[in-house]
């Protein structure tokens, strides 16, 4: 079977740092992606890790450890607009097929 | 950038009718397009993978005769919900992967909210 685990909700204050973890068990692994989705909107791509290590893009960073089947998304200098749902997704095949986690709802408070 | 559009953005229909949703990649050619369904406060569930010029591959539990997918060109895929029922009401999202992409990502359309009365 395929499963991705991530916390259902996280709350943090503006300006803080938050880490959203994702563990996965999938038949096949090409890479781990992160997507942001605001209520009523479509998912937008944040990052992709195919190899172990940390990828940094502005305020967002993503980490992957393939041996631990684990990754995380790190959001720094939180802003109110970062309140959204964040999904990890595993690419399971050469066809770019993605399996999504259940999503983490992030609430940023003033 | 890589832009994917969907049409319509929302649709309300009567039970028993069919609804067609279009997904277009506007500024790139998509080798593969994907169709997802998302219920409120839930994750995206992959329904099917669509390759240009070939039959779609459906995920387990998705009825291929109810959700008809056509991928006529490298920039257009359509999803037709046939004989829609209230339980088909959902947010339908398509995505496209880019030919020779260096970022290995899918680009998502804005979604279509379907309400079946």
Report the side by side order of strands in the sheet with A3-5. A3-5, A18-25, A70-75, A60-65, A53-57
Percent of chain A with pLDDT over 70: 100
Average pLDDT score over residue span A82-92: 95
Residues of B in contact with A102 (CB under 8 A): 42-43
DSSP 8-state secondary structure symbol assigned to residue A82: G
Strands (E), chain B: 4-7, 10-13, 19-25, 30-38, 45-51, 57-58, 67-73, 76-81, 90-98, 106-108, 112-116
- To probe the interface with B, which of A5, A40, A42 has the most B CB atoms within 10 Å? A42
Average predicted confidence (pLDDT) for chain A: 93
Q: Which residue has the tokens 């839930």?
A: B42
Half-sphere exposure (Cβ direction) of B103: Cα atoms closer than 13 Å: 15
Distance between CA atoms of residues A48 and A27, nearest Å: 18
Contact A87 B44 (CB under 8 A): yes
Bridge partners of B51, per DSSP, are B32
Could you read off the pLDDT of B40-99 as tens digits, one per residue? 889 999 999 988 888 899 999 999 999 999 988 889 999 999 999 999 999 999 999 875
Could you read off the pLDDT of B1-27 as tens digits, one per residue? 678 999 999 999 999 999 999 999 998
Could you read off the pLDDT of A13-71 as tens digits, one per residue? 999 999 999 999 998 899 999 999 999 898 998 999 999 999 998 999 999 999 999 99
Q: Cis ω on the peptide bond leading into residue B8 (within 30° of 0)?
A: yes
């Amino acid at each position: 079977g395929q499963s991705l685990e991530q916390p259902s909700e996280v709350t943090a204050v503006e300006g803080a740092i938050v880490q959203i973890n994702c563990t996965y068990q999938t038949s096949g692994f090409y890479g781990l992606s992160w997507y942001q989705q605001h209520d009523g909107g479509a998912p937008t791509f944040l990052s992709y890790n195919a190899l172990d290590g940390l990828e940094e893009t502005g305020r967002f960073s993503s980490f992957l450890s393939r041996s631990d089947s684990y990754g995380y998304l790190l959001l720094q200098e939180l802003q109110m607009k970062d309140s959204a749902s964040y999904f990890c997704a595993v690419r399971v095949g050469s066809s770019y097929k993605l399996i999504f986690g259940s999503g983490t709802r992030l609430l940023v408070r003033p | 950038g890589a832009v994917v559009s969907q049409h319509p953005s929302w649709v309300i229909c009567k039970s028993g009718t069919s609804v067609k949703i279009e997904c277009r990649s506007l500024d790139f050619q998509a080798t593969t397009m994907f169709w997802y369904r998302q219920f409120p406060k839930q994750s995206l569930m992959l329904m099917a993978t669509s390759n240009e010029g070939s039959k779609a591959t459906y995920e387990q539990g998705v009825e291929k005769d109810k959700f008809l997918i056509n991928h006529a060109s490298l920039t257009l895929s359509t999803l037709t919900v046939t004989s829609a029922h209230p339980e088909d009401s959902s947010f339908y999202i398509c995505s496209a992967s880019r030919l020779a992409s260096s970022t290995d990502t899918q680009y998502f359309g804005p979604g279509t909210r379907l309400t079946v009365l």
